[in-house]
Structure 1
Amino acid sequence: KDISASVPAPGGKGKRVLFSAFSTRILKGERIGILGPNGAGKTTLIRMLTKDLPVDSGNVRIAKTLNAAYFDQKRAGLDPDESLWRTMCPGGGDQVMVLDTPRHVVGYLKDFNFDVDQVRGPVSTLSGGERNRLLLAKLLARPSDLLVLDEPTNDLDMDTLDLLEDALGEFKGTLIVVSHDRDFLERMVASIIALEGDGQAREFVGGYKDYVRQRGDKLGLTKSKPAKSAPTASPPRPRSERVGLTFNEQHALDELPKTIAKLEQDVGRIEKALAEPDAYSRDPDRYHKLTAFLKKTEAELEESEERWLALAEKAEALDSPV
């Protein structure tokens, strides 16, 4: 509540305020994105929220039983001399617990594109991208109520990014993500804390697109996934020749199930938060915001389902014999 942070100003004269008198309440199961330009105080904020860094003023209270797992930009936490197996099972054995399910360490690491020889080899033989995959595997196998991810998409290849998104989609705890990646934020979070470099931290209900609608695209965020190249132009087809779905239609048909699943999860989380006995009395403003967000999310879900159904029917009709 009312937390503030500042850093020395350029030239050593005075201080530059990162944010002041910021208050928030983070509930179990919430998925929060933190965004802003470099130097705005994003990492400082999450370190203060997890009490890894003292606040300049104000106070932070966290649950006594909270078990947090942290993934930072420095990718620290790997012993280059240890094997991947021992890294995952430091106490010995061959099992890891992933989302309350026991997994054999070899099978689990195969999900992160490691082969058997690599699992038994030392961390020092891994490339930078492979080390990122191992860190994510280690993080996601750690029992936790809170995942704090600081720029998790940096230096990730497409396969690893997909693995991360799938794993986070199944995570039932609280998620706090710092990222410059607008696509990742849009898919992963249901509210935004924005640090816009003006000494204030502001909260917005919804994902990245909702934030942009309310504030405008001021931050110059980047997309981590490279844009797919446009299909090469082909000669005009005879009018009688049947054509398949367009590139954009096929892409939408492939991606909409993921969007629908994400929206269904969002609806479930919001409904659960609204169903808590003291949800309204504890924070009426937040209750009204969540109610409005639920209505919007349900509308997006219905629209996505109708869009997918229309494309699926079109694809089926095009594939059927004349």
Structure 2
Amino acid sequence: MVQEHEPSGHLGTAADGSADRAHQTDAAEPTATRRTAGDTESSRASRGWWDRNADEYQEEHGGFLGDDRFIWGPEGLDEAEAGLLGPADRLKGLDVLEVGAGAAQCARWLAAQGARPVALDLSYQQLRHARRIDAEDRARGGTAGREPVVLVQADATALPFRAGSFDLACSAYGAVPFVADPVRLMREVHRVLRPGARWIFSVTHPIRWAFPDEPGPEGLSVAASYFDRTPYVEQDEQGRAVYVEHHRTLGDRVRDVVAAGFRLIDLVEPEWPDWNHQEWGGWSPLRGGLIPGTAVFVCERDRAAR
């Protein structure tokens, strides 16, 4: 995508326990808390939340994301300019997996470069939007004969692909922050990549967890411990999680990458550009000019078998 999937403290929720869920469809507002949440609970909550909120998410953010752009985060870092996947002219013919693809905007951009992308997401409703965009594009005659992007609904911690199926994997705010065991996800990505392949993913910058998720001056004062890894959870009246996001420090993320068999070759912290005047949850020009909002990890799979 860039389905900047709403991350914690972070595309819509707050590290201090307050929640921005104007589009929550449940009758009763969920209660925000910090508590443990395991693999199954986290996965169930993510699927339910994205299925309920996909329509409004795409309506609100689809214009910024575009139908076939590759945007790494709310700052608007565009892969066409950043080149984190490698030179665009070398993407042709590559088998690419997008993890947490949402409506497959990023995968569609990859297809336009001649790659063979597969867009994977846990949410059926997000993938329905991918089909909608493809259908609208065909109706406008904009596909230039290309086939629609291949879509797969599956959990990123159990990828339904053979080992060594892909030349490249990427994720723009998808899946990684929402799983209880990120190393398990990374190892699955490692398994399906060919030796020497790149794995590039973006997440909310870990420092943001220490600040309230507010775009104005109130979001510039530390309100929580950066070192508190307790997940952010929104739960219903029965105590069932309806939204879960997991915090990892910057060091944790690096260790996760290495533990899964990858080598970190770059860590990009996009600066807020002068042209971007929009607010997205807690992201804003004010905060973006002072503290990082996104971290992009550029990794390479080891060349030895694991």
Place the TM-score, normalised by the shorter chain, in its bin. Answer: 0.3 to 0.5
Structure with the greater alpha carbon radius of gyration:
1
Structure showing the higher helix proportion among its residues: 1
The answer to which structure, 1 or 2, has the higher relative contact order (CA under 8 A, 6+ apart) is 2
TM norm structure 1: 0.32
TM norm structure 2: 0.33
